[in-house]
Amino acid sequence: MPTPRLALTVLAASLIGGTGQGAEPQPKLYVDCRGAPSASPTVILEAGAFGGAADWDLVLDDLAKGGRVCAYDRGGTGRSPPRAGGEDVASVARELAATLDGLGETGPVILVGHSNGALYAETFAAMWPERVAGLVYVNGVGDDDADDPVLVGELKRERRLSDLAVALARLDLAPAVAQMVTGPSGLPAEAAARKRAALSDPSSLRAARDEDRAIIPGLAVARALGGSPPQIPTVAIFGGPDPDSPTYRRWRLAEAAPAKRARAGWVLEAVGATHTSFLGRDRAYVTAAVDWLRSIAQANGQHKDDNHD
């Protein structure tokens, strides 16, 4: 039997080996890009579980004032066609790489990941650190969660809820639930309609559920790849309505860890925030984080023009 360290090394090597040129072609995904190219790297927004580009609508408008920013629907969810690969985190990272190639974004970008989307951003950064100018983890799931059984238990509970979402779709109850979820989101009408459509579509819900099932195994994958690279400037944003609860304190330690390990890191805590308020009411935290990373990238010479050499 190989040692755990050797097993992780072999796993990481196999994952990286399948990500180079000549990988299987990926379908063209739905992407919402706003803002004009500028001296700053493009910002890429990665949604959480059962989310997509529509979730970022307000943030897209805010960040577009400083340069180009894009959000997208992952394969099989929202307006995107089914993905060519699997739902594991490495496959999603490859899907993102192919999408960036299609957009002409072959140089460093700033990745912003919300919730489970942070694990996809972490995995992408671990696989291609040279393509990442900065990282923002917003109430993010990451490989540090694997060290706390309580947090793993929380992720298991989320997985059961994702199974319930698909079961409700079989009973034709998904549209009613979608309306309940989207109603208080504060999204503009067009974005809210897109989100309701995604949450009402059985095939989109199944794809999102399958992604969610791959999150806990994905913690080990991200760790095998080395986790969040400390050389990449990193911001951790988190908050909750009950900052004194034991579970919140556990999340806070895990969520702050990547920024604390980074050579240039910033930890932003918003007491009283909710899991999704950073996409709406509290989105100024995301803007502040991205502005900081944009300034670092420009100081380091990671300009937009460098992305298209």
Sequence-distant (6+) residues with CB within 8 A of 231 are 129, 262, 263
Sequence-distant (6+) residues with CB within 8 A of 143 are 119, 122, 219, 220, 222, 223, 227, 228
Quote the CA–CA distance of 186 and 214 in Å, as a whole number. Answer: 29
User: What's the burial of 226, exposed, middle or buried (CB within 10 Å: 0-12/13-18/19+)?
Assistant: middle
Domain count, the chain: 1
Q: What is the pLDDT of residues 138-156, one digit of tens each?
A: 999 999 999 999 999 999 9
Q: What is the pLDDT of residues 218-270, one digit of tens each?
A: 999 999 999 999 999 999 999 999 999 999 999 999 999 999 999 999 999 99
Three-class SS state of 40 = coil
**Angle, to 10 degrees, between the axis of helix 116-127 and the axis of helix 89-103?**
70
Quote the CA–CA distance of 268 and 235 in Å, as a whole number. Answer: 7
Domain boundaries, position 304: 4-308
Quote the CA–CA distance of 181 and 197 in Å, as a whole number. Answer: 12
Three-class SS state of 209 = helix
* CATH at 189: 3.40.50.1820
Three-class SS state of 78 = coil
Q: What is the mean pLDDT of residues 98-112?
A: 95
Q: What is the pLDDT of residues 167-202, one digit of tens each?
A: 988 889 888 888 887 877 789 999 999 999 999 999
Q: What is the mean pLDDT of residues 53-61?
A: 98
Specify the pLDDT at position 16.
Answer: 45
